[in-house]
Structure 1
Amino acid sequence: MTDDQTGWTPDIGSRLAVLRSAIDKPGTDHAELPIQNLPVDSHLGMETAGSVWLRITCDPTTVASDDQAAAVRFTTLTDGYKVTIAPTAASSVTDHLLDEMVQLLGEGHDPGDVGRTALQNWRDLLARPAGSPLSDNALVGLFGELEVLETILRHGGQLDQWTGWDKDHCDFRLSKLVIEVKSTTSANYRRVQIHGLGQLADPEDGSALVLVLRRLEPSPDGRSVPDLIESIVRLGASRSVLLDRLSNLRYSEQHKDHYDHSKFVSVEVGLRNVDDSHPRLVPSMLAAVDMSSIDKVDYELNLNGDAEADLDTDLDSLIARHLGNS
């Protein structure tokens, strides 16, 4: 089977769907698809029993195996090796592990070490407890951040410019621009919660600080957080690194089916330049207050009567300008 014959897209799920159709034909017990545009010959395969594999061509003496996962088997071949995933593995884990290997190959990683590295990345991540699903408010906030991350990557930015996952005061740090994102499903989207005195404080490096106000609307025609994750990965972000950082925000792929049902569209966006003229609370304003017994200061910022203070630009243009694409 070739790409031209199948018409599949560079998406693991689509490729596996093609293979499932192929092995459903009478007399067929397995099938393979070549994965093109990689530095080495690689084939995705599936058998009727449900196992799937990635077969990679390389010097067999360079293959680094990992036999510590019960559902994953490494087989050394005369012209390389095969990483086979048993049907007992969750489909999301299988898809993502295969996608990780393909991505590593495309980035020029040592072909003989791709399987071991990908499995190690996923073992660390999947060993963490899933916990409870995110609350509706937390999911809305995460959706808003990921949409901004998607925009940054689309304009040539980097995953590392998203800093909100690491308990940073603000969500994104670009060259001379810091972005804080506030998202809500409320029609009163100009009333936002500010967490701590540092969230709207002047950036230490003198960068401009922009507050993004985003209103989301639930819609079956919208996108979910898992949809955004797929888009971000297609834009070049490492899936394992992205999911590792998302796990710091208590997002787990083990709840993917639950999150798939929460779809949103962004219907309004307002941008605010936050400086001394913008309403806010910052540490310097409470310099005379004894803070020794005050652990946290949260407050609600009401910007309903100040819409004319919005920046005369959109987020896409703002990010493009700061990334040198305009």
Structure 2
Amino acid sequence: MRESSASVFEYLAKDVSAAGSFHSRKSGISSADGEVLCAVDAGGRPSLLVPVGEVKRGPLDWHSKSLALQTLELSVDGLNQPFMILRCIDPMLHHQFGLLADDVLHAVELDPETAPNAVLATLERWRNLFEAERGALLGPAQLAGIMAELSVLQELVRTHGPKALYAWQGPNGNRHDFVFADCSIEVKATTNHNNMVVTIHGGRQLSAPDQGELYLLALQLERTPNGKSVPAMVEELIDSGFPRLELLTLLGSANYSDGDSSAYKEVKFSKLSESSYLIDARFPRITGETLIPSGTIERLSNISYSIDLGHMKETDLNLSTVVIRNAED
């Protein structure tokens, strides 16, 4: 497996070049005009150098608050060569840029004859993610919730492969975190050591799905220096074949920014227990179906309540048997 661009950039940044030059390494991927280089500039900013046939001005030269793209003639091994240079401007996005660079290299590998077009097409897909405004840092409780959902996603990928990503619908605004063809799952996390209490937000989270049964999957997590962070989990999922941009976009919809991964790496969790429950008529909840008189749920706002799962009957939930919908379904 090819080394990640992020790790190459990190290695190169330890020995930046003199002002005005790049410290580079061959990527192992070639365009029709030569080998693509991973590099850092004199300021340690990660860059991708894609050889092109000639220097072209105009739409290939632009910059934003996060990225810059230009065409420039550079001297490599004593020879002058025009390059399309994609550079990360924002130091908070260096890791995210490494993932973008991986996608660019893959695109060039698939279409080396028209490498500039491959670069531009890939960049266009990623630009919204790079230009998105970052909010305040998430707290430990919010990170625990994301860790719980990513843990379910990781378990799903073991038997269903990367297509399991299509089932993660919570960040898209669906009332349930995971939606399958035959059931839905709401995922909850708690860091309480003494009891299994989870918080339900709104009157829709535990309402019946359009198809099949609804399950509540609760994970009890412990914050520990020997555990795993959300950024580490994200890297594992990408290494398992998840499409980088799609995963980061979903995380962004869940208010998680990869640009803050350096801060989040310090928040680590270990799983203490995992329990699942069938949401049926015997399960305590506030929804449009359970509220009396019926039809009044929409008049209530800011619904939030906690459920103690400690003495409730658990059920078996086999994630390997759920039916994943296709992306277009």
Quickly name the TM-score band, shorter chain normalised.
0.7 to 0.9
Deviation at 1:23, TM superposition (A): 7.3
Aligned residue pair count: 307
Equivalent position amino acid for 2:148 in 1: G
Question: Hey, what's the Cα distance between the residues in 2 that align with 1:270 and 1:64?
Answer: 58
Among 164, 167, 171, the residue aligned to 1:165: 171
Matches within 5 A, 1:75-224: 75=71, 82-85=84-87, 89-90=91-92, 91-105=94-108, 111-155=115-159, 156=161, 157-205=163-211, 207-224=212-229
**Residues 209-248 of structure 1: matches in 2 within 5 Å?**
209-248=214-253
Q: SS of the counterpart of 1:178? A: strand
Contact 1:64 1:113 in 2 (8 A): no
Bigger strand fraction: 2
Q: Secondary structure at the match of 2:63?
A: coil
Look up the match of 1:69.
63
Note the aligned Cα RMSD (angstroms). Answer: 3.7
Report if the CA contact (8 A) 2:30-2:36 is conserved.
no
Give yes or no for contact 2:171–2:253 (8 Å, CA) kept in 1: yes
* 1:212–1:12 Cα change, 3 Å: same
**Contact kept in structure 1, 2:276 and 2:314, CA below 8 Å:** yes
Contact 1:200 1:274 in 2 (8 A): yes
- Distance in 2 (alpha carbons) for counterparts of 1:237 and 1:106: 19
Aligned counterpart in structure 1 of residue 4 of structure 2, from 8, 11, 31 = 11
- CA offsets, 1:245-279, max 9 Å, x none? 22222222332222111011112101112222333
Q: Secondary structure at the match of 2:216?
A: strand
- How does 1:6-45 map onto structure 2 within 5 Å? 9-19=2-12, 30-35=23-28, 43-45=36-38
Give the superposition deviation at 1:137: 1.7
TM-score (norm 1): 0.78
**2:179, 2:185 within 8 Å by CA — same for their partners in 1?**
yes
The answer to which of 176-185 and 29-38 deviates more is 29-38
Unaligned runs of 5+ in 2: 74-79, 325-329
- For the 8 Å contact 2:206–2:279, the answer to whether it is kept is yes
Percent identity, aligned pairs only, is 23
In the TM superposition, residue 235 of structure 1 has moved relative to its aligned partner by 2.5
Cα drift, residue 55 of structure 1: 4.4
TM-score of the two chains, using structure 2 as the length reference: 0.77
- Match of 1:286, SS state, is coil
Mapped to 2, the partners of 1:76 and 1:285 lie a distance apart of: 66
Unaligned 5+ residue runs, structure 1? 1-7
